[in-house]
Chains A and B, each alone.
Chain A
Amino acid sequence: MRLCIGIVAILLVAYIGLIATVVSYAALTIEFSQSVRNDEAEVAALESMYLNNVERIATTDYIADGYIRPSVTKFVPAKSATALR
């Protein structure tokens, strides 16, 4: 009789433990998933910033900013450092 009660008690504890594990697993999965999404959104914000900076540099009017266009452009016939590529 005692043995039966013992077995039932063990099964009950195991059952409750299993439920707790499943619930915790689900909660952690959702939490991690959202954390990944939040990180991705932060990366996207950084990427936006990078692309905005690239655009700002590409569209900068250096003459309007006070730089003077060179009067003569001379191409130097030197071997490129990357010529071997």
Chain B
Amino acid sequence: MRAQFRSRIRLVLAFIIIAALGIVLRLYFVQIVNGEEYSLKADRQFSSGGSGLFDRGVIYFTRKDGALISAATLNTGFLVAINPQILSDPEYAYSVIFEAAPSAISREAFMNAAAKKSQVYIEVAHRLSEENGRNLSEKIIPGVQVLRERWRHYPGGELASQSIGIVSYGTGDTLAGRTGLEAMYEDTLARSGDSLYRNFFAELFSNVGNLLVDSKDAREGDIVTSIEPEVQTRLASNVKKLNIRYSSKESGGIIMDPATGAIVAIASYPTYDGNDLKSVNPALLGNSFVEHVYEFGSIMKPITMTSAIDAGVVTSETTYNDTGCITVNAAKLCNWDSKARGIIPMRQIIMQSLNVGASWLADRLGQDKFRSYFTKLFGEKTGVDLPNETGALLGNLSKPQQVGYDTAAFGQGIAVTPLQMIRALGALANKGEMVQPHLVSAIRLNSGIEREIDWGKKVRVFSATSTRETVAMMDALMDEVLYNKKAKIPTMSVAVKTGTSQLTNPEGGYYKDRFFHSFVGFFPSYAPRFIILLYTNDPKGVQYASETLDAAFLDLVHFLIDYYAVPPDRGIPS
């Protein structure tokens, strides 16, 4: 009896041990061998976050009344996929799909896809509208799936596209911002999961902390730019018109608030439509405002003039003998017309755009002081919130030859980015203080908090009195010279300067007949609301910037005065 009991006990024990071994073995396979697979499967079931739909924050333009208009948002619709293993009538399926989505793949490609019987999922059409997607879905064709899809959409098309940027796959399999603000603010705009789809109860049990205060909500959000859509449109229209009219290689323009550095409009041409990336020339994806450097020519003269006045080597009353041409280090430097003016005051250097006068100022300043001012103005990147910003080429200012300084004084031999140029010229408008140009004014976090970005970094370069004297010269240029003396606005002072520089040739010299035109202006001259920089590269059949850019500049000035109701600063009876 006892022996029988013992054998039964052993039997039960053996059974338990075998069962335990079985469980341990099973656990080994579940946790070690297939652990990762089960973990992913569990994640999908548990969190249900993997909807697979693309999500991303919005980039906004800001209208003058504060209303936000999307510059980059999401569009929603449908994609069509086929399962070749189930699809029985490819001809019929294609005709129905093509009717709903004319942008679907070609008939030949569709038939090739349908013939791949080893596959179960091939996408054949994208971006179907809500209506077309639903209509196609209702037809219930075996082997045809109509699925939800979201994609990046730019309501303005070409509007500020080079600064807004694009979203694409790049070299990996993740959609991410690749250029412009899309790349610069990737951390804010990217979405790590769709919180709207999360299972509340699952989160309640698994992650109470995140349910109450989600760290993503303090990081993810939308971005608000200072770009004003109507001003942007006007600038883009003018830039495009002038580029086409003069068959230029490229043209661009920036409108900025000189007191804050907020960029109100920034446009270049040629450009592209971010909604149609298939037809984008990859060379255009970069941003010439920060990635390219140019020799801007005579719009550098007001900076040279202010440096000389600020250093105390000249005053606005100082005179010099303009000989028309000078020889420096065996190089002959001449005025634009090679004519001598004799003994003339400083303001004529700006008003007649005299290279000899600018070189004379550089001589008076001396190499150390000249280098000091120009390094302060252009030696550092602007820090604008755009990717791939490059620095200025100031090599000539570290050599002992005076010719490098004399040419830099009128904007040749040194090259800077358009944003560096408007930032430096902005110091003249802003009573000697240089501000930080920027596009984004605030980030609207998903948590509901709107975080203003502090762009308050200011660098004093000149005294307010020295800039005022130069501004008076630029003001006189507008009133007494520009547009055959017809540009003057009786109720608004406007400070301007044109620039024409020769383009460099591959041999290291300069073309005699190819030019870079630039134009800067700000108004009201002594308390500016806006500073405008325009340029056009290699315009054909025209030599001077005053011929190409003054009409566009004046159009923008009048538009801005009307649009913002800028109050007059002169010509009003007291």
Set B130, B197, B490: member contacting A75, Cβ < 8 A? B490
Q: How far is the CA of A47 from the CA of B229 in the complex (A)?
A: 11
Closest CB in chain B relative to A57 CB, distance in Å: 8
B237 x A55 contact (CB < 8 A): yes
Contact A51 B75 (CB under 8 A): no
Q: Which residue of chain B is the closest to A60 with respect to CB atoms?
A: B237
* A10 lies within 8 A of chain B by Cβ: no
Q: Taking each of A25, A32, A81, A83, which has the highest tally of chain B beta carbons within 10 Å of its own beta carbon? A: A83
Pair A33/B194 contact, Cβ less than 8 Å: yes
The interface residues of chain A lying within 8 Å CB-to-CB of B194 are 33
Q: Which of B19-27, B96-104, B148-156, B209-217 contacts A (4 or more CB under 8 A)?
A: B148-156
Tell me, yes or no, whether B199 is within 8 Å of chain A by CB: yes
In the complex, are the beta carbons of B237 and A83 less than 8 A apart?
no
Tell whether A75 pairs with B155 under 8 Å between CB atoms, given A36-B196, A51-B229: no
User: Nearest Cβ in chain A — how far from B295, in angstroms?
Assistant: 31
Q: Is the CB of A41 within 8 A of B74?
A: yes
Partner of A32, one of B150, B156, B196, B198: B196
B99 to A: closest C-beta gap in Å: 22
Question: Given A26-B48, A77-B490, is A33 in contact with B197 using a C-beta cutoff of 8 Å?
Answer: yes
User: Inside 8 A of B156's CB, which chain A residues have their CB?
Assistant: 47-48, 51
For window 4-24 of chain A, which residues contact chain B by CB distance below 8 Å?
A: 18, 21-22
A44-B155, A51-B155 known; A58+B237 contact, CB < 8 A: yes
Q: Which residues of A contact B490 (CB under 8 A)?
A: 75, 77
Interface contact B148-A34, CB-CB below 8 Å: yes
Residue of B nearest to A50 (CB): B69
Interchain CA distance A11-B234 in the complex, whole Å: 68
Q: Is B200 part of the contact surface with A, judged by Cβ < 8 Å?
A: yes
A25 pairs with B572, CB closer than 8 A: no
- Residue B15 is within 8 A (CB to CB) of chain A in the complex: no
What residues of chain A lie closer than 8 Å to B155, measured between beta carbons? 44-45, 47-48, 51
CA distance A55 to B233 in the complex (A): 6
Of A29, A34, A36, A40, the residue contacting B73 (CB under 8 A) is A40
Residues of A within 8 A of B568 (CB): 77, 79-80, 83
Query: What residue of chain A has the Cβ atom nearest to residue B130's Cβ?
Result: A38
Q: Are the C-beta atoms of B48 and A51 separated by less than 8 Å?
A: no
- A-contact bits for B313-350, CB 8 A (1 contact / 0 none): 00000000000000000000000000000000000000
Set of chain A residues within 8 Å of B77, measured between Cβ atoms:
41
How near does chain A come to B420, taking the closest CB pair, in angstroms?
28
Dominant secondary structure of chain A at its interface with chain B:
helix
Give the interface size bracket for B toward A.
35 or more
Instruction: Tell me if B571 is interfacial: C-beta within 8 Å of chain A.
Output: yes
Interface 1/0s, chain B 547-574, versus A by CB < 8 A? 0000000000000000001011001110
- Give Cα A51–Cα B156 distance, bound, in whole angstroms: 6
CB contact under 8 A between A29 and B491, given known A41-B74, A55-B233 = no
Whether A29 contacts B197 in the complex (CB less than 8 A), given A82-B565, A85-B567, comes out as: yes
Q: Does any Cβ of A come within 8 Å of B137's Cβ? A: no
A80 to B565 alpha-carbon distance, docked (Å): 8
With A51-B69, A58-B237, A80-B568 as given contacts, are A40 and B74 in contact (CB-CB < 8 Å)?
yes
The answer to whether B200 touches A25, judged by C-beta atoms less than 8 angstroms apart, is yes
Q: Which residues of B contact A45 (CB under 8 A)?
A: 155
A54 and B233 form a contact (CB under 8 A): yes
**B379-390 CB contact bits vs A (8 Å, 1 = yes)?**
000000000000
Q: Does B230 count as interface, using CB distance less than 8 angstroms? A: yes
- With A44-B153, A51-B156, A80-B568 given, is the CB distance from A33 to B196 under 8 Å? yes
Least CB separation from B70: chain A residue = A47
Residue ID in chain B nearest A55 by CB atoms: B233
- Specify which chain A residues have a CB less than 8 angstroms from the CB of B74 in the assembled complex: 37, 40-41, 44
Q: Does the CB pair A58–B233 fall under 8 Å?
A: yes
- Which residues of chain A are within 8 angstroms of B229 by Cβ–Cβ distance? 51, 54
Residue interface mask A41-85, B partner, CB < 8 A = 1: 101110110110011001100000000000000010111111111
**Which residue of B is nearest A25, CB measured?**
B200
Judged by a CB distance under 8 angstroms, whether B393 is at the interface is: no
B199 surroundings in chain A (CB, below 8 A):
22, 25-26
- B489 CB contacts on chain A under 8 angstroms: 75
Nearest chain A residue, comparing its CB with the CB of B491: A75
Q: CA of A54 to CA of B64 in the docked complex: distance in angstroms?
A: 14
Question: Which of A30, A59, A79 touches B572 (beta carbons < 8 Å)?
Answer: A79
- The verdict on A58 contacting B153 (CB below 8 Å), with A38-B76, A75-B571 known, is no
Query: What is B's interface to A at a CB cutoff of 8 Å?
Result: 48, 69-70, 73-77, 130, 148, 150, 153, 155-157, 159, 194, 196-201, 229-230, 233-234, 237, 489-491, 565, 567-568, 571-573
Q: List 11 A-B contacts (CB under 8 A).
A: A29-B197, A33-B194, A34-B148, A37-B76, A41-B77, A44-B75, A77-B568, A77-B571, A79-B568, A80-B568, A83-B572
Q: Which residues of A contact B (CB under 8 A)?
A: 18, 21-22, 25-26, 29-30, 32-34, 36-38, 40-41, 43-45, 47-48, 50-51, 54-55, 58-59, 75, 77-85
- Besides A37-B74, A43-B73, A44-B75, 6 more A-B contacts (Cβ < 8 Å) are A41-B130, A58-B234, A75-B489, A75-B490, A83-B568, A84-B567
A-B complex: 6 closest residue pairs judged by Cβ atoms: A33-B196, A83-B567, A47-B155, A48-B155, A82-B565, A75-B490
